[in-house]
Structures are given as C-alpha cells and as structure tokens.
Structure 1
Amino acid sequence: MRTTRVLSRAGLLAGAALLALCGTAGTAAADSGDDESTEPTEAGTSFRTATAIQPDQEATAEASTGDYLYWSFPADVGQRPTVHATVKLPEGTARHGGSTWQVDVYDGLRRHQACRFGAQTRAAAQDAATVELSCTLRTVRGWAEPWANDPLPGTYYARLTVTGLKADDLGLPMRAATKVTSSDAGGAMAVDGSLAKPLVPGIGTKMEAASSEPDDGWSSGLWSSRWLWTAAGGVLGALAGIGGYCLTRGSGRPARVPAGI
C-alpha cells in the first residue's frame, strides 16, 4: 500500500513537471511567432518620422491617397540599393480618374538621388488595381568631393506619393508596400579614401536610431576586392618581367662556331 502511494505521488509530480514543460514550450513558440511578425506596418509622414527598415524587409502601411509616406534604410560602401514600392489602389468604382505615382530616394543629407534604373514614376488607369514602382541607385561610394552629389554610406529615405490625381479622389483609402534590396558592385566601383563617419542624422525615435545601422555594422570603406586585383596584377607583371628578361638574355648569346671552320 505504501509502495502504491509513493508511486502515485511520483506520477503526479512527473505529470506536473510535464505540464510545466509544455507550457514553457508553448510560451516560447508563441514568442518565436511574435518575433517573426515584426515587419513594420506603418510609414512616417516626414523625414523625421520615417519608419526604419532593413534591406530585404517588407514594410506595409495603410494610408489615404495624397499622403506622403516615408521609410528609411541603411546603405553601405559598394552596395547598389533598389527601392521597390507597390500601391494597392482604391476601388475603381470609387475613383473619378487615373493617377500618377512616384517614389523618390534621398540620402542622409536629404539630397535627392537620381535613379539609375527602374520605373520611378508610373501612371495608373482608373480601373487599375495596383501600380508597381522601383528605383535603383548608383553604387554607394566610400568617398566623394564636397561638391559632388555621389551616394555615400549612411541612412537613405524612400518617399512614396501620388503626383497626379483628381481632387475628388484625395483621401481615398490605399495600401502601400515597400522593400529595399541591394546588390554588391564589388571592387570595380571602389575608390580610394573613406568618410570619417556614415551620413546618419541624429534625429527620430530610438528605434529609428538603432535601425539606421546595417545588421552587420558599417564597413570601413578601405578594404575591397580591388586590392586583390591590384596585388594579382603586380605579381603577374613581375613574372612577365622576369620571363622577358630570361628570353632576352637567352637570345643575346653569341652563336657557337663548329670546330674546324
């Protein structure tokens, strides 16, 4: 009887421990699920309130037609960022005509940056459901002259707005989605020199300030694959010089005269 009571108590303790573990696992799974759904769901309405996003992170926002929507993202030396924007337009029956949409990109000094590729401005018919925009910047440089408008490492701003619209359509609900992708240009676009600090304005919320830096930190701008190509070129040049010297020295020896002549 005593043995049975001990076993029953042990079983209850084991069951309680198992339930505690299951509850902890469930909480951890819920927390993990919450972490995965941290993509921004709003946009700022000015440079100061721009919503910070990281490359390859999609952000969405519910807004009214006519609003200016701002997002900020980091871009480092050697990168070629592309801003993608998709606008889900209001119902065609609620609109009174077509519309024209535009995405603009500014650097940390709020200088407008030209788009090298992409459809920066697009017109949408009255019955169109969506409109897609894109803007590919020039390669971010590590250094530039003060008078130049070259893209430099730091914070960049993407602004989405409608530029052509009938007055009756202002204020209609719309949905916007934006995403920034980046490609590495490599050492072919590298330049000598680097900035002392990236162009990151000290403004905005704490979240924005913390997100203005890439996940892996800023690069120094001094090292690139250009150094490897330069070193390889030097080695090949030295070998070519040695080979040429050996060939020239061998061809300059006097010809041997056969004996008896």
Structure 2
Amino acid sequence: MSEEKQDLSWLLSGLPEMKAESLKDSQKHFKKEIELIDFIAAALGGLAFFTMNQRNENILLSSTYPSSDWKFHAHLTDLINTFISIKELCIHGFDTQARSLVRVLDERIYQNLILFSSSEGYKKWAEAESSKQAHYELFSKKKFIFKKIKALEEKYLNQKNTQEALIIRKENEEYYSDSIHGASISIYAGSVAYPFGNLDDGPFASTLYGRASSCSYQTLHHSIGQMAYFVIMIGAILEDVHSLKNIEASDLIDTYRNNRYQIIEKAINLILTDEH
C-alpha cells in the first residue's frame, strides 16, 4: 500500500464560501438577536469587569459571604462566554451544536442564582471533595434545582403560581438535552438547514461544515429570554443578599444597573412580537 499522502483539500475547498454565506444570512436574518445578545453581554460585563480584580476584599458581594468578588467574576465569565458562544455557533451555521450549549447555559443560570443566594449552598458547593457529589446533592437530587429556583422566584418576582414555569423548564431540559445525548431527531433534523422563507419553497441544504438555519431563531430567542431573566434575578439577589444597592459611584456597576430593565423589555418585545 502506498504511503503517499493524499491531498484532500478539495473536500474543504468550498468552506470559505459556505462560511461567508452563513454569516451573510445570519447578519441579515438575526440582526436584532445579535445586537441584543451583545447588549446583554455588555451590561453583565460591567459586573464582571468590576469584580475582576477584587481578590482580597468584597465590594459587590457581602463581606461575610463564602465567596469572593473575583470568584463571582469567574462565574459571570463562564456564563457570558457560554452565551456568546451560542450566538457565534448559530451565526456560523452550527445550530445543533449551539443547542448543546443552551442546555449548559440554562443549568449555569439556575446554579448561579442558587449559589449566590445561599451562603450555606455556596460553601457546600465550593468546599466539596467531590464536585460530582456536590452537584448531585445541591441540584440533581430530586430535581432540587427547580424547587430552589421556584422558591427564589416566589421571593424576588412575587410569583405565587410557578407550576406552569416548572413544567416549561422540565420540557426545555428534556428538549435541549437531545442534542447532548445524540437523540435521533436531533441528529437527523440537525443535518439540514431550514429555509428562512416558506418551508415549501426550500432549499433544505446540508449543514455539513456549517449552514445558517431558521431553526436558530428558536435557539437564540430561548437563550436571550433566559439571560434576560438572569439579569433581573441576579440583580434582586445582589441587592438583597449582597451590596449592590450600596455602591454609588461606579460606571461599570451603572452599566448593568441602568440597563437591566431595558434588557427585559427588549427581550420580551423581540420574543413575543417578532414572527418567523
């Protein structure tokens, strides 16, 4: 057998053109989504930058909390980067792969709200010898993660009937887990890019090497809604449990504080009024 290397570059010769086409379609159809995602990332980035160098003294978090401002920065960095990664995957035509990260994003959002609202919970999570066991005890066991989020919403959003939200969360968890577990519907449907116009008009192009798809509307809108929810909830927690309301002179804090309600308004308007 010949050991001469084969030149397979011709199989990838169309890749630059496909990338350019995906970006062109995405910038045309997802313009509002891209702008809002960047806006949310910037507003939360204000909190992340403010806490980035606070290793020895808590200014945003309570001085008695078993976490530091810098560790809060690390949590926010992970969350914001996951959010941006979903956007980048969608606009480059990798919707199925983005959906795997949506499942991660949802869990990170709920975990962060729980961890920074409960001193006892954070301490147990941070000091555990086994991260897997700590995750199970705090979040996975008997679906504690949803029960704790339900309690936080009743407290900070004044929601009395959260059963419907609980049902939707469980459905979303199962739906977005399909991409992680390689469910047949996820594999088959994800191999095709859906058209932006009438489905009957097509084309249903292969997503090999990436292809923008109208399916990404759902992926992006879900992620935007979840992050807008996080923006409001984390603000309530930081004011109640921590020291956000005591910080007066900070452009970085104000970047978040002055835009958080605008974010939820923009998200609701985009998700509920845009039709695709």
Short-chain TM bin: under 0.3
Q: Bigger radius of gyration, 1 or 2?
A: 1
TM-score by structure 1 length? 0.24
Which of the two has greater strand per residue? 1
Which of the two has greater helix per residue? 2
Q: Relative contact order: is structure 1 or structure 2 higher (C-alpha 8 Å, sep ≥ 6)?
A: 2
TM-score by structure 2 length? 0.23
